[in-house]
Structure 1
Amino acid sequence: MCSLAKDIGIDLGTASVLVYIKGKGVVLNEPSVVAIDKNTGRLLKVGAEAQAMLGRTPGNIVAIRPLRDGVISDYDMTERMLKEFIRKVTGGFHLFPPRIMVCVPSGITEVEERAVIDAGRQAGARRVYLIEEPVAAAIGAGIDITKPDGHMVVDIGGGTSDIAVISLSGVVESASIKVAGDQFNESIVKYMRRKHNILIGERTAEQMKMEIGCVYPKEEEATIEIKGRCLMTGLPKTITVNSTEMMEAFEEPVERILEAVHNVLERTPPELVADISNNGIVMTGGGSLVDGFDKLITARTGIHTVVAEDAISCVAEGTGKSLDSLGDMQDGTVNLSRRRQMN
């Protein structure tokens, strides 16, 4: 069936893809995973169904994540994944292909930008626009970024953490580091190997992070029972892990994020630092939901820090809301920092 296409906002994340349709809100939230048949190159599954296959596939089927550290690592697979997600939310052929707004990490290079734009075009977009993640996160968190008032956003996703100071619809200072949710999972895997001589998979590490992960002492210690392979015997082994051990496992990636926040504050003009001190720091992204992250940043910076409501979909919401200003665009530019279009 032929129809007029809606404008679409896409949070193209390392861990998951969220799609926002103008007038409907976030309509899709699926893992950034594709499963293909190596022999034929045929796309078998996309999203949650493909994620269920990670680490569990026979020789001819491979489940891969086409985005790494916030950018495209496998162009062909990203394009096919996007095409499938767009088809899923729009329901087929359109007389006019949709315009798409994609959010990207603030530290992205021009080559990486071009890859995102080309993938969007090949996936069926009429035009592709880009917006920086921290700007989208701020809009999604309900911050009025058009005022001459400083706001700090810390967006911790799956592949990157983006820290930015925003004023007058633009990014004044920012940092994008490749330390986020995926690195937390890797830290858990390494810790379990080093401390308990047990090998666990990525999905088990993710479960531990979500259930007992913390970066600030909990009032009440939590525990979880996990299964893995003993490195001494090669046999299955079950052990109990507590939340204090998670703090120890997360120490290195957390310190790197705190260092980045500190560096951005150091480079920020004093007037804006005063604003941030009054307005506080807003955290978004799935990584910000690790227990106690807001308390830790408050303790280290002395600035009140809060986790945005619905932190996971903040970036997608902001990307979608910024679609409203597409009509104001002239020569491919708008007020938002470094947002671009390609014809």
Structure 2
Amino acid sequence: MFGIDIGVDLGTANVLVHVKGKGIVLDEPSVVAIDSLSKKVVAVGEEARRMLGRTPGHIVATRPLREGVIADFDTTEIMLRHFINKSIGKSPFKRPRVMICVPSGITSVEQKAVIEAAERTGAKQVYLISEPKAAAIGAGLDIFEPSGSMVVDIGGGTTDVAVLSLGDVVTANSIRVAGDKFDEAIIRHIRKEHSLLIGERTAEEIKIRVASVFPHARHEKLDIRGRDMISGLPKTVTVESEEMREALQETVDLIVAATKSVLEQTPPELAADIFDKGIVLTGGGALLHGLDRLLQQELLVPVHIAHDPLFCVVKGTGIALDNLNKVSRSLLNKKTTSNVVQV
């Protein structure tokens, strides 16, 4: 079977796969569990995520992507091959065209690692597209018009901020501060203020159910359990929204500063368009309570959360693959190899 087009949002926290004609067919955590004794893969995706922090010593559940880029090449290849096979079936005759999203600040070495990992899964042709461009397309912005559009894509490992016009990025900034850093900030705060050790999953639950980054915008409480640093025994404490705002302030300020920097570098005519249309937030981080209001207050520009922000990037890859004639001139890896194209 030929002519299969696959869009992949290769995220630090989750991998999403879009198959042409079928839509989004896979959304699983970017986690692989490996038996360190036999060196065999035990589980991938959701099954592996459930093992995080709960495995015997010889089974290691890891996330092979860190801060938006490949930290463990071999494990990433295994994970990508597993997800592609799960999405389209395993067959030597199925050699898809694959478009993968990467952070706008990715280096050439990091690009090469992504390309090689995709090629080794059997891809017929590999395309790279910058995450903010895919996010903008997936959010429904017409970036091919001679008008400025601005997107802030907050994923698990990176936040990508970009102004786009005529199908290309005009000005952009990518910082390695996003959902994972929110979790780390919460863990640090709980350890410092409550002498309690908690894991990533508890931190994420706090972020979703309690946290807010805009003053007095939310009034939730949550009882959490962890290990007391003094006694070493299980302990329960209660956390509140305003406390979490203080815990997250320093991290969120970095995202505000990055967004402000891009806006300040934007040509005046395009900046005027953005003041009219507003900024669109995409990615899982867009759902952080109060972030849209905080950005609007700090930047004095309307800020909107995209519809289905978690899926904007992967939807954008699918649309981009259907419109390669429009986007191919601005793909990232045009000059890399004969079967690799950058969008």
Shorter-normalised TM-score: what interval? Answer: over 0.9
What do residues 178-199 of structure 1 show as CA deviations (whole Å, max 9, x unaligned)?
A: 0000000000000001111111
Unaligned residue ranges in structure 1 (runs of 5+) = none
User: 1:83-119 deviations in whole A, cap 9, x for unaligned?
Assistant: 0001101111052400100010000000000000000
Match of 2:137 among 139, 148, 151: 139
Other-structure match for 2:332: 338
Q: Counterpart in 2 of 1:170?
A: 168
Letter in structure 1 aligned against 2:332: R
Distance 1:264 1:156, change over 3 A: same
Question: In the TM superposition, what is the alpha-carbon distance from 1:41 to its structure 2 partner?
Answer: 1.0
> Any unmatched runs of 5+ in structure 2?
none
Counterpart for residue 308 of structure 2: 310
Superposition RMSD on alpha carbons, in Å?
A: 1.3
| C-alpha separation in 1, matches of 2:216 and 2:9 | 32
Is the CA contact 1:105–1:132 (under 8 Å) kept in the aligned structure 2? yes
The 5 Å alignment of 1:134-283 reads 134-283=132-281
Amino acid across the alignment from 2:199 = G
Question: Residues of 1 paired with 2:312 and 2:218: CA distance?
Answer: 29
Task: Give the 3-state SS of the residue equivalent to 1:217 in structure 2.
Answer: coil
Structure 2 letter corresponding to 1:102:
I
**Structure 2 contact 195–230 (Cα < 8 Å) conserved:** yes
Partner of 1:51: 49
**Deviation of 1:219 (Å):** 4.2
Which residue of the partner structure matches residue 100 of structure 1?
98
Alpha-carbon distance between aligned partners in 1 of 2:21 and 2:139, rounded to the nearest angstrom: 18
CA drift at 1:338: 2.9
Q: Within 1, Cα distance between the matches of 2:299 and 2:127?
A: 35
**SS of 1:241's equivalent?**
strand
1:4 to partner: Cα distance: 3.1
Tell me the distance in 2 between the aligned counterparts of 1:337 and 1:101.
Answer: 10
Aligned residue number for residue 294 of structure 2:
296
Query: Does structure 2 retain, via aligned residues, the 8 Å contact 1:282–1:305?
Result: yes
**Structure 1 residues 300 and 337: alpha-carbon distance in aligned structure 2, compared to 1, 3 A threshold:** farther
Instruction: Provide the C-alpha distance between the structure 2 equivalents of 1:52 and 1:208, rounded to a whole number of angstroms.
Output: 18
Q: Secondary structure at the match of 1:309?
A: coil
2:95 aligned counterpart, secondary structure:
coil
Runs of 4 or more, structure 1, over 2 Å off, are: 217-220, 335-342
How far is the alpha carbon of 1:6 from its aligned partner?
Answer: 1.4
Shift of 1:324: 0.9
Is 2:212–2:218's contact at 8 Å kept on the other side of the alignment? no
TM-score, normalising length from structure 1? 0.96
**Cα distance, 1:337 vs. partner?**
5.0
Give 3-state SS (helix, strand or coil) of 2:12's partner: coil
Partner of 1:91: 89
Residue by residue over 1:262-308, the C-alpha shift from the partner in whole angstroms, topping out at 9 and shown as x without a partner, is 11111111111101000100000001100011111110011000110
User: Distance between the aligned counterparts of 1:175 and 1:281, measured in 2?
Assistant: 15
> Residue type matched to 2:6 in 1?
I
> CA-to-partner distance for each residue in 1:119-149, whole Å, 9 max, x for gaps?
0000121111000000000000000110010
> What is the CA–CA distance in structure 1 between the aligned matches of 2:153 and 2:113, rounded to whole Å?
22
Question: What SS class does the counterpart of residue 184 from structure 1 fall into?
Answer: helix
Deviations 1:197-244 (CA, angstroms, capped at 9, x unpaired): 111111100111011111113445101110011111111100110000
Aligned residue identity for 1:273: A
Letter in 2 for 1:130: L
Q: CA deviation at 1:339?
A: 5.2
Report the AA paired with residue 65 of structure 2: L
Count of residues in Structure 1 that have an aligned counterpart in Structure 2:
337
1-structure distance, mates of 2:328, 2:26: 27
Shift of 1:5: 5.0
